[in-house]
């Protein structure tokens, strides 16, 4: 059926000329774009409504083709007509003579006795052929009946079942059941077709019952990909986009969607920053483009930019936009990639209920081998002969670690009618962490409803409600004394002490500062947070004229939460102040309005055009407030009675607001499905930028050649896809905090005469010229499909150069300032990504393999003045370590910087002198590699003295490549998934091992300590015990952090349909899976997959590959069940 329509359109095709090409008088241009949107709507409206005034027609025609009548009516009323060409044949020529009659009356005359009917929707007339009445055949028909389901055994409603060569047919009912009579003279072949499924023909000459399974149309190229402000067939894509399907996200219970995404897409690096339940993950798409500004990708959930991510179970698909062609439509926020999340929707048909439940049991992956009480006392007496042995023998790691547990449930109800679709789902995730007293709970409700309000207006509302409750334990803390975290205390604390003293109080450390024991910290410190998210977004999509749609999205996200903290008097830290409590709350709103027009047309046969133009406004406001107090009458108040504190500590409050105004447009043009061009541009204005640079424009262009469509490849049967893509464009990064460009006085406190007074100090200098980081990205890619798509390969090369880096340039501290944010420097990321999907076996036994591998090379191209920038991210009590990371031109960001460790000095060795270094047999020996001449210039030659000049690059935290391999096997109802994920060639710097291996008697040590140097035992590289030994950053604590991890292995069984029927369910699957049970690594710490101080904020880009006191990742075993009703 070929439907044609006739109408004039809004001249949207001119949009590309309206997008400014250069930065210039900027506000004007933005207004131009905004006006364009309005102008376009206006035109469309005028076009339609101008004719709309005349609702009656006057026509006088004889023996005229009915088409002529339609044209006349259209001319007089502006109505347009939609009809099948057969209408023209069936109606033929008409006589008509009407004056001031309605359209209906006129058409009634035309169609009298013509087996044609019509319907008017607003200003559109749909003419259709009347369905022929079922013919009663004289010969006996045969009746065939049966059921149709999909590969997952779900029955399909609405499948078209036709007799081949006729128009006769039926559809399956809500239970997937059909019944059809086939006339004797017809072919005994049925054709089954359904959207998104491969059509199938079945010969029924000898059957009266057919039960068949329709395979999904898994030819990838038919897939639709969600891109910014629209969708596109994968075959028409010019950009680099990876797609992940919803069911890939729920293979094991993930704490959130990001974790579930790990390893699922090439070019996307996801690292856990800390294993604590609820802690955030670090996501980098094609490397990190920035040094100081955020490098997190932009998240777009159902068109809502910056909305919180829904639960993995509620996600239909995730599309990751990687190159500039794909991301430039997000302009100043596109440089770090865009992750587009589409939630599930309902489908018309019978209500479908799904229930997913799983239970996991977790254990720590690894434990450190530490000295036991006896070994410890021997060791500590070498450092401090006066040490008195404690009365216990405690393995603190065992004390604080436990078997964790995750329960994960989802209940979803989806369905709909012709006009209304709905999807409602509730999820519940409850984790008891592997460290005692750590808990995480997530409860969410997602509700997506959409409806066809009129024939032209579609509307919908998506709602997300989410509550997260967390009981945290201290980990990755900065301080080693009183403020120690549970994990670092567990390895540092003296093992010869019991948990409790004889009087019932908790034991305090007998070495170093008298810190609380790890059990006390874990159980006594109250650290509880709660966060409510609400997202409500509504859209309206209106078809203005054929091909031209206006979509208006409006949404709001509010986030409310609080964190309460109480340190009771049972802890040393709390006892000194009689309990200290704090309660902080925050409230933030994110409001977004997007209005955009989409226009699709065929300019001429084989010339297809798709245009998008839109306007967007976003406002984010964040408020915070908190109070704290100490000295309480009782611990029972926890943090819920701050008013009863005898000492009020300074309360706090703050507010920050940003606005973003944008205009954007995109042109997609394709010729013969062979050559595809995309141009994209976005014009952004952002309040947080300096007064001289509020606006910027980000353009991109892309070209793709679908070579397989060329004649000369027609005969190459083994090749079913061959596409080459290339793109270039600019995107931005605006991820800085508001008010950073302004000079600022900060308030502090001082005490005069016993009274508190307010004091102020300048803490930041203004920068009136601060602007966006701009990333120029080139991408070239190829998509290949071989052997009937049994093998699919995508390969991409990219090069991203980020300039105008938002850089906190370190200022000398004698200025009174520490840093100033400037646009200085350049960073480059280039690399290759490959995605290979193969269907190794497709018969009864199915085996598919997905493999992706990504190589990224990060390099600093330019720094202020070409000068190295040194910095450190050292735990507070190890602060004497000094700078141990460097930014250096020609090197990747965050290289480890320190001394080269050369083992221990032996008796008779020549000691290299240097303040802070040891000069004794058994002392740590470092290499002298550099010195200064008389002009204080570096000579790059040893100068016989150890000092700062002898530090050098000692490690690289960036992986050379990361890869993931997923194998899926299916045989009848049994499925098996094996998923490996790996990182290769990255170094880790372990502060934990540096502390435990320092041999200075300040804390417990690893069993390696027993191997230390003594005058009688010299063949070792472990230094002798020395209490005065400094923390020296050195190659000694740099480890190979490469790993290969069996991330998930899952075995499932789906019940056969026959049984389902008997127990009245739609489908049932059980599975057992295990996560992280195998890890191949040389790393000696808990886990190579943790990062210290690497989370959000600027430090996240600078601090790579550090390990200290992290909450370890767990290995787990999961049992689960999926039921469908």
Partner 1 sequence: MKNIISFIGILSGILCITGCSKLKENPIGILSPEGFFKTQKDVEAAIFDGYGLLSSDAIYGRFFNGTGLELRSDMVAIGNLGTAPERIQVNDFNVNASSGLTGRWWPIFYQVISAENTADQGADLIEASDEIKNQLKAEARFVRAFSYYHLVQIFGDLPYIDKPVSDPAAAKSMGKTPAAEVWGKIIEDFKFAKEHLPDQQPGDVRSRPTKATASAFLASAYLTTHDYQNASTEAKWVIDNKVAYNYELEADYQDLFNADKMDGLKEPLFVIDYASDISGEYQVLPSGIALCNNCDVMGPMTAVGAPALTIGFDVLVPSQAVYDSWNGLDYRKVVSFDTMVLFTGNVSKYYTEWPVPRPHIAKYIRYPGSAASPNGTNSSLNYMLMRYAEVLLIAAEALTEVNGGPTTEALDYVNQVRARARNRAGTITSFPTDVAPGMSKDDFIDLILEERKWELAFEGKRWYDIKRRQLGDKVFKGPDSIEPHSNFDSNRDYLFPIPGSEIDINANLLPQNNGY
The region of 229-237, 530-538, 810-818, 1041-1049 touching partner 1 under the rule CB under 8 A is 810-818
Query: Exactly one of 636, 749, 974, 1059 binds partner 1 (CB under 8 A); which one?
Result: 749
Which residue number, 219 or 589, has a Cβ lying nearer to partner 1?
589
| Contact pattern for partner 1 over residues 219 through 238, marking x by CB under 8 A | --------------------
The whole-angstrom separation of Cα 249 and Cα 506 is: 44
Any idea which residue has 């600093």 for tokens? 860
Helices assigned H by DSSP within 353-465: 373-383, 396-400
Query: Exactly one of 603, 759, 1059, 1078 binds partner 1 (CB under 8 A); which one?
Result: 759
Judged on CB neighbours under 10 Å (0-12, 13-18, 19+), 421 is: buried
Which residue number, 33 or 982, has a Cβ lying nearer to partner 1?
33
Query: Exactly one of 11, 816, 1015, 1097 binds partner 1 (CB under 8 A); which one?
Result: 816
Taking the complex as a whole, the smallest distance from the CB of residue 882 to partner 1 amounts, in Å, to: 2
Taking the complex as a whole, the smallest distance from the CB of residue 649 to partner 1 amounts, in Å, to: 6
Helices assigned H by DSSP within 561-711: 572-575
Task: Give SS3 for 228.
Answer: coil
Q: Decide: is 797 part of the binding site for partner 1 (CB under 8 A).
A: no
Query: Exactly one of 15, 77, 123, 243 binds partner 1 (CB under 8 A); which one?
Result: 123
Number of residues located near partner 1, criterion CB under 8 A: 135
Q: Decide: is 595 part of the binding site for partner 1 (CB under 8 A).
A: yes
Q: Decide: is 135 part of the binding site for partner 1 (CB under 8 A).
A: no
Query: Exactly one of 647, 788, 842, 1014 binds partner 1 (CB under 8 A); which one?
Result: 647
Other CB atoms within 10 Å distance of the CB of residue 726: 19
Q: Decide: is 727 part of the binding site for partner 1 (CB under 8 A).
A: no
Pick out residues in 517-556 that bind partner 1 (CB under 8 A). 540, 542, 544, 550, 552
| Cβ within 8 Å of residue 815, ≥6 positions away | none
Q: Is the dihedral of CA 376, 381, 384, 390 positive or negative?
A: positive
Q: Decide: is 643 part of the binding site for partner 1 (CB under 8 A).
A: no
The interaxial angle of helices 66-77 and 26-52, nearest 10 deg, is 120
Taking the complex as a whole, the smallest distance from the CB of residue 594 to partner 1 amounts, in Å, to: 10
Q: Decide: is 586 part of the binding site for partner 1 (CB under 8 A).
A: no
Which residue number, 1001 or 1112, has a Cβ lying nearer to partner 1?
1001
Task: Give SS3 for 725.
Answer: strand
Query: Exactly one of 872, 942, 973, 1095 binds partner 1 (CB under 8 A); which one?
Result: 872
The whole-angstrom separation of Cα 697 and Cα 19 is: 9
Q: Decide: is 880 part of the binding site for partner 1 (CB under 8 A).
A: yes
Query: Exactly one of 64, 383, 861, 1072 binds partner 1 (CB under 8 A); which one?
Result: 383
Q: Decide: is 636 part of the binding site for partner 1 (CB under 8 A).
A: no
Q: Decide: is 498 part of the binding site for partner 1 (CB under 8 A).
A: no
Query: Exactly one of 24, 1027, 1056, 1097 binds partner 1 (CB under 8 A); which one?
Result: 1027
Q: Decide: is 939 part of the binding site for partner 1 (CB under 8 A).
A: no
Chain centroid to Cα 320, Å, comes to: 8
Pick out residues in 46-65 that bind partner 1 (CB under 8 A). 48-49, 52
Q: Decide: is 747 part of the binding site for partner 1 (CB under 8 A).
A: yes
Helices assigned H by DSSP within 780-833: none
The whole-angstrom separation of Cα 206 and Cα 188 is: 9
Q: Decide: is 292 part of the binding site for partner 1 (CB under 8 A).
A: no
Which residue number, 268 or 592, has a Cβ lying nearer to partner 1?
592
Burial 124-153 (b: 16+ CB within 10 A, else e): bbbbbbeeeeeeeeeeeebebebbbbbeeb
Other CB atoms within 10 Å distance of the CB of residue 714: 10
| Cβ within 8 Å of residue 877, ≥6 positions away | 479, 480, 481, 513
Taking the complex as a whole, the smallest distance from the CB of residue 211 to partner 1 amounts, in Å, to: 46
Which residue number, 263 or 1100, has a Cβ lying nearer to partner 1?
1100
Q: Is the dihedral of CA 297, 299, 303, 304 positive or negative?
A: negative
The region of 43-51, 246-254, 351-359, 1041-1049 touching partner 1 under the rule CB under 8 A is 43-51
The interaxial angle of helices 66-77 and 103-111, nearest 10 deg, is 180
Query: Exactly one of 113, 139, 755, 940 binds partner 1 (CB under 8 A); which one?
Result: 755
Cβ–Cβ under 8 Å, residues 60 and 563 = no
Q: Which residues pair with 370 in a beta bridge?
A: 1006
Q: Which residues pair with 842 in a beta bridge?
A: 846
The whole-angstrom separation of Cα 171 and Cα 161 is: 6
Which residue number, 508 or 609, has a Cβ lying nearer to partner 1?
508
Query: Exactly one of 446, 792, 794, 820 binds partner 1 (CB under 8 A); which one?
Result: 820
Query: Exactly one of 701, 738, 922, 1085 binds partner 1 (CB under 8 A); which one?
Result: 738
Chain centroid to Cα 369, Å, comes to: 36
Query: Exactly one of 5, 6, 11, 38 binds partner 1 (CB under 8 A); which one?
Result: 38
Task: Give SS3 for 559.
Answer: strand
Query: Exactly one of 810, 921, 942, 1095 binds partner 1 (CB under 8 A); which one?
Result: 810
Angle at 659 between CA 655 and CA 660, to 5 degrees: 150
Pick out residues in 906-925 that bind partner 1 (CB under 8 A). 914-917
Q: Decide: is 613 part of the binding site for partner 1 (CB under 8 A).
A: no
Pick out residues in 968-1007 that bind partner 1 (CB under 8 A). 1000-1003
The tokens for 974 are 């049994």
Pick out residues in 460-489 that bind partner 1 (CB under 8 A). 478-479, 481
Query: Exactly one of 862, 947, 1021, 1040 binds partner 1 (CB under 8 A); which one?
Result: 947
Which residue number, 198 or 819, has a Cβ lying nearer to partner 1?
819
Q: Decide: is 742 part of the binding site for partner 1 (CB under 8 A).
A: yes
The tokens for 474 are 């201290």
Judged on CB neighbours under 10 Å (0-12, 13-18, 19+), 39 is: middle
Q: Decide: is 867 part of the binding site for partner 1 (CB under 8 A).
A: yes
The whole-angstrom separation of Cα 991 and Cα 1010 is: 20
Query: Which has the closest alpha carbon to 1046: 1115, 960, 1105?
Result: 1115
Angle at 836 between CA 680 and CA 313, to 5 degrees: 75
The region of 245-253, 279-287, 648-656, 784-792 touching partner 1 under the rule CB under 8 A is 648-656
Q: Decide: is 593 part of the binding site for partner 1 (CB under 8 A).
A: yes
Q: Decide: is 869 part of the binding site for partner 1 (CB under 8 A).
A: yes
Q: Decide: is 814 part of the binding site for partner 1 (CB under 8 A).
A: yes
| Cβ within 8 Å of residue 407, ≥6 positions away | 357, 358, 359, 360, 428, 429, 430, 431
Query: Exactly one of 60, 652, 939, 1007 binds partner 1 (CB under 8 A); which one?
Result: 652
Query: Exactly one of 756, 788, 842, 1014 binds partner 1 (CB under 8 A); which one?
Result: 756
Q: Decide: is 23 part of the binding site for partner 1 (CB under 8 A).
A: no
Query: Which has the closest alpha carbon to 850: 779, 781, 786, 794?
Result: 794
Q: Decide: is 1070 part of the binding site for partner 1 (CB under 8 A).
A: no
The whole-angstrom separation of Cα 437 and Cα 528 is: 11
Taking the complex as a whole, the smallest distance from the CB of residue 743 to partner 1 amounts, in Å, to: 5
| Contact pattern for partner 1 over residues 775 through 794, marking x by CB under 8 A | --------------------
Q: Which residues pair with 976 in a beta bridge?
A: 969, 1051
Any idea which residue has 């567990």 for tokens? 490
Q: Decide: is 1059 part of the binding site for partner 1 (CB under 8 A).
A: no
Which residue number, 244 or 550, has a Cβ lying nearer to partner 1?
550
The whole-angstrom separation of Cα 222 and Cα 536 is: 32
């Amino acid at each position: 059926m070929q439907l044609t329509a006739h109408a004039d359109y809004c001249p949207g095709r001119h949009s590309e000329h309206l997008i400014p090409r250069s930065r210039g008088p900027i506000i004007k241009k933005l207004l131009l774009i905004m006006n364009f949107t309005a102008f376009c709507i206006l035109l469309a409206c005028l076009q339609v409504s101008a004719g709309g005034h005349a609702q009656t027609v006057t026509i006088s025609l004889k023996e005229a083709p009915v088409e002529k009548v339609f044209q006349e009516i259209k001319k007089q009323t502006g109505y347009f007509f939609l009809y099948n060409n057969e209408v023209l044949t069936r109606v033929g020529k008409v006589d008509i003579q009407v004056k001031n009659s309605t359209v209906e009356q006129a058409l009634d005359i035309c169609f009298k006795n013509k087996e044609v009917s019509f319907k008017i929707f607003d200003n559109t007339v749909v003419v259709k052929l009347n369905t022929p009445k079922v013919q009663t055949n004289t010969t006996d028909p045969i009746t065939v009946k049966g059921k149709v389901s999909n590969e997952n055994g779900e029955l399909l409603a609405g499948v078209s079942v036709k007799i081949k060569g006729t128009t006769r047919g039926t559809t399956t009912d809500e239970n997937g059941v059909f019944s059809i009579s086939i006339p004797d003279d017809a072919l005994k072949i049925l054709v089954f077709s359904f959207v998104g499924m491969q059509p199938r023909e079945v010969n029924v000459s000898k059957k009266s019952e057919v039960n068949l399974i329709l395979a999904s149309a898994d030819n990838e190229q038919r897939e639709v990909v969600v891109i910014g402000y629209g969708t596109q067939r994968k075959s028409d894509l010019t950009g680099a986009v990876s797609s992940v399907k919803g069911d890939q996200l729920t293979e094991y219970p993930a704490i959130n969607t990001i974790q579930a995404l790990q390893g699922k897409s090439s070019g996307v690096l996801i690292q856990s920053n800390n294993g604590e339940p609820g802690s955030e993950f670090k996501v980098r798409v094609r490397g990190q483009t920035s040094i100081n500004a955020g490098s997190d990708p932009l998240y777009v959930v159902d068109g809502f930019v910056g909305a919180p991510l829904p639960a993995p179970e509620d996600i239909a698909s995730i599309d990751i936009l990687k190159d500039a062609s794909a991301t430039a439509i997000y302009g100043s926020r596109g440089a770090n990639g865009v992750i587009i999340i589409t939630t599930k929707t309902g489908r018309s048909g019978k209500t479908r209920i799904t229930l997913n439940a799983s239970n996991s049991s977790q254990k720590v992956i690894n434990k450190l081998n530490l000295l036991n009480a006896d070994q410890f006392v021997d060791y500590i007496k070498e450092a401090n002969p006066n040490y008195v042995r404690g009365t216990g023998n405690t393995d603190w790691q065992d004390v604080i670690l436990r078997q964790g547990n995750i329960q994960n449930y989802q209940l979803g109800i989806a369905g709909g009618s012709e006009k209304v679709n709905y999807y409602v789902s509730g999820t519940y995730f409850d984790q008891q962490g592997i460290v005692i007293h750590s808990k995480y709970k997530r409860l969410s409700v997602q509700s997506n409803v959409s409806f066809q309000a009129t024939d032209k207006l579609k509307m919908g509302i998506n709602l997300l409600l989410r509550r997260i409750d967390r009981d945290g334990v201290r980990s990755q803390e900065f301080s080693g004394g009183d403020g120690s975290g549970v994990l670092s205390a567990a390895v540092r604390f003296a093992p010869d002490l019991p948990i409790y003293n004889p009087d019932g109080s908790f034991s305090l450390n007998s070495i170093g500062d008298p810190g609380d024991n790890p059990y006390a910290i874990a159980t006594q410190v109250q650290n509880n947070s709660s966060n409510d998210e609400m997202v409500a977004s509504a859209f309206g999509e209106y078809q203005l004229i054929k091909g031209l749609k206006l979509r208006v999205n409006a949404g709001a996200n509010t986030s409310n939460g609080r964190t309460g903290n109480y340190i009771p008097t049972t802890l040393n830290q709390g006892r000194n102040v009689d309990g200290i409590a704090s309660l902080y709350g925050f409230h933030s709103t994110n409001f977004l309005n997007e209005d955009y027009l989409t226009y699709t047309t065929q300019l001429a046969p084989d010339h297809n055009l798709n245009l998008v133009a839109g306007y967007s406004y976003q406002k984010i406001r964040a408020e915070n407030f908190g109070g704290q107090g100490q000295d309480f009458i009782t611990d029972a108040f926890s943090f819920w009675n701050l008013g009863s504190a005898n000492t009020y500590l300074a309360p706090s409050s703050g507010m920050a607001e940003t606005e973003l105004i944008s205009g954007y447009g995109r042109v997609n043009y394709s010729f013969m499905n062979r050559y595809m061009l995309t141009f994209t541009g976005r014009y952004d204005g952002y309040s947080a930028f300096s007064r001289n640079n509020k606006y910027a424009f980000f353009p991109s262009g892309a070209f793709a050649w679908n070579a397989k469509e060329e004649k000369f490849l027609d005969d190459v049967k083994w090749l079913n896809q061959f596409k080459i893509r290339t793109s270039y464009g600019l995107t931005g990064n605006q991820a800085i905090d508001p008010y950073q460009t302004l000079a600022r006085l900060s308030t502090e406190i001082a005490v005069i005469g016993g009274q508190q007074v307010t004091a102020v100090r300048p803490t930041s200098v203004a920068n009136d010229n601060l602007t966006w980081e701009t990333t120029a990205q080139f991408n070239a890619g190829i998509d290949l499909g071989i052997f009937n798509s049994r093998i699919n390969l995508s390969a991409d090369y990219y090069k991203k150069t980020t300039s105008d880096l938002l850089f906190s340039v370190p200022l000398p501290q004698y200025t009174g300032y520490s840093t100033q944010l400037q646009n200085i420097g350049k960073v480059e990321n280039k690399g290759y990504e490959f995605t290979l999907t193969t269907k190794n076996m497709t018969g009864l036994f199915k085996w598919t393999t997905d493999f992706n591998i990504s190589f990224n090379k990060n390099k600093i191209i330019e720094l202020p003045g070409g000068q190295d920038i040194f910095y450190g991210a050292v735990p507070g009590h190890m602060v004497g370590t000094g700078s141990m990371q460097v930014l250096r031109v020609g090197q990747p960001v965050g290289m480890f910087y320190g001394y080269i460790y050369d083992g221990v000095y032996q008796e008779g060795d020549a000691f290299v002198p240097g303040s802070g270094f040891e000069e004794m047999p058994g002392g740590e020996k470092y290499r002298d590699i550099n010195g200064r001449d008389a002009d204080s210039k570096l000579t790059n030659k040893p100068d016989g003295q150890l000092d700062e000049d002898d530090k050098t690059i000692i490690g690289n935290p960036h992986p050379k490549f990361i890869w993931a391999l997923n194998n899926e096997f299916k045989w009848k109802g049994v499925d098996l998934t094996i998923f490996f994920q790996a990182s290769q060639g990255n170094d880790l710097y372990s502060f934990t091992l540096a502390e435990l291996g320092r041999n200075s008697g300040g804390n417990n040590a690893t069993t390696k300590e027993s191997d230390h140097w003594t005058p009688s035992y010299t063949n070792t590289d472990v230094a002798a015990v020395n209490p005065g030994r400094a923390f020296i950053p050195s190659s000694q604590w740099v480890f190979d952090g490469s790993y290969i991890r069996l991330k998930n292995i899952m075995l499932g069984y789906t019940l056969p349909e026959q049984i389902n029927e008997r127990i009245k369910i739609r489908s049932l699957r059980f599975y057992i899976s295990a996560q992280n049970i195998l890890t191949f690594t040389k790393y000696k710490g808990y886990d190579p997959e943790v990062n210290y101080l690497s989370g959000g904020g600027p430090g996240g880009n600078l601090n790579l590959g550090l390990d200290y006191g992290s909450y370890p990742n767990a290995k787990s075993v999961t049992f689960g069940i999926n039921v469908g009703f």
